[in-house]
Structure 1
Amino acid sequence: MATKANGTFGVGVWKEILKEKDWCWENMAFTMGNGTKIRFWNDLWCGCTVLSQRFPHLYGMAAHRNGIIEEMWDQNVGQGDWDLRFVRGFNDWELDMVGNLLHILRGYKPTLEENAVFWKGGRNGQFKVKEAYNLVVNTVANNFPKNNIWVDKVPTKTLFFAWEATWGKVLTLDRLSEKRVATP
């Protein structure tokens, strides 16, 4: 898994790429095959939310929080079954949560095929640079507060200052200190 780009480690193109890793992970999902390399609780493979977020209480009780799907599947039982391990037995009030989890898992079963990555932002689940670019541009365009900046009865210099500040182009004291420029 990628790590945060900082210090002398992250330079040039890779530093910029690693800055966007969270965005990439949010726009990817896994199609389960044999279950290797897909973390059962922490990767998006089963529905729209990772299981650790959908069932935080059960995740807290899980014996193998970083286990992969392959480890959680017991193929020695008939046609196979989920073999989830928890650090303690369940209280009565927790049984509904377990039932809900098992109900969701009922529709998923590892196969002999390789796992696949599914790109949520594109057609047919395949990554295309153009579609990723459009996704980024549309996200920025939708979140950008242009209607709050370009308003009537505000001096032009103030409008342009607000525009530049919104894009992070104004050299404020904190930005100057980031660039290690001596400030008064």
Structure 2
Amino acid sequence: MTDGCIVNTIKAICEMYNEDFKYYKNFRHIDWWEINTWNFEECNCAKPSYIDSYFNQPRFFRYITYMDWAKEILDELKETYKISIVSAGYSPNLYGKSIWIKENLPYCDFIGVNLKQYKNKGHIDMSNGIFIDDSYNNLIASNAMINICFGDIYTWNKDWQGIRCKNWHDVNDFLGGLVK
């Protein structure tokens, strides 16, 4: 699972926030498409550390949903490509991701990047691969043959000047139109 590419992490975090803070005085319901900051500043009732804790909670994995068409297109791409999912997080989050991927995308290899040890995914050898990520910092650190910035333009990827695929149909089209 890669946050913001295969699953809609922003949506999951907003749903958890809305549930937890709906009775607070200054609460305003936040829809996932309103988020444009890496640390969810739009969720004004919660401190960034509280938002970060969501990623390490088991319920986070009950809230996540696939990005539109991610599952269907990955299911097709597995016939042509070896798919490895490289995802960053802290130990509890990485453990949960490994379980989620095993249960939902069993044909994918999982490589967890512990944020206590690494600030990005640059130490992973992707020299013969295609790397899809929504983070500018991960993309510029990558040694992949092809780096693709996924999704909408956010503060954390606005400086990317390379290939951008806004959705999974764009990814599929770029990779040769395997899904009709």
TM category, shorter? under 0.3
Greater strand proportion = 2
Larger Rg: 1
TM-score, normalised with respect to structure 2: 0.24
Greater helix proportion = 1
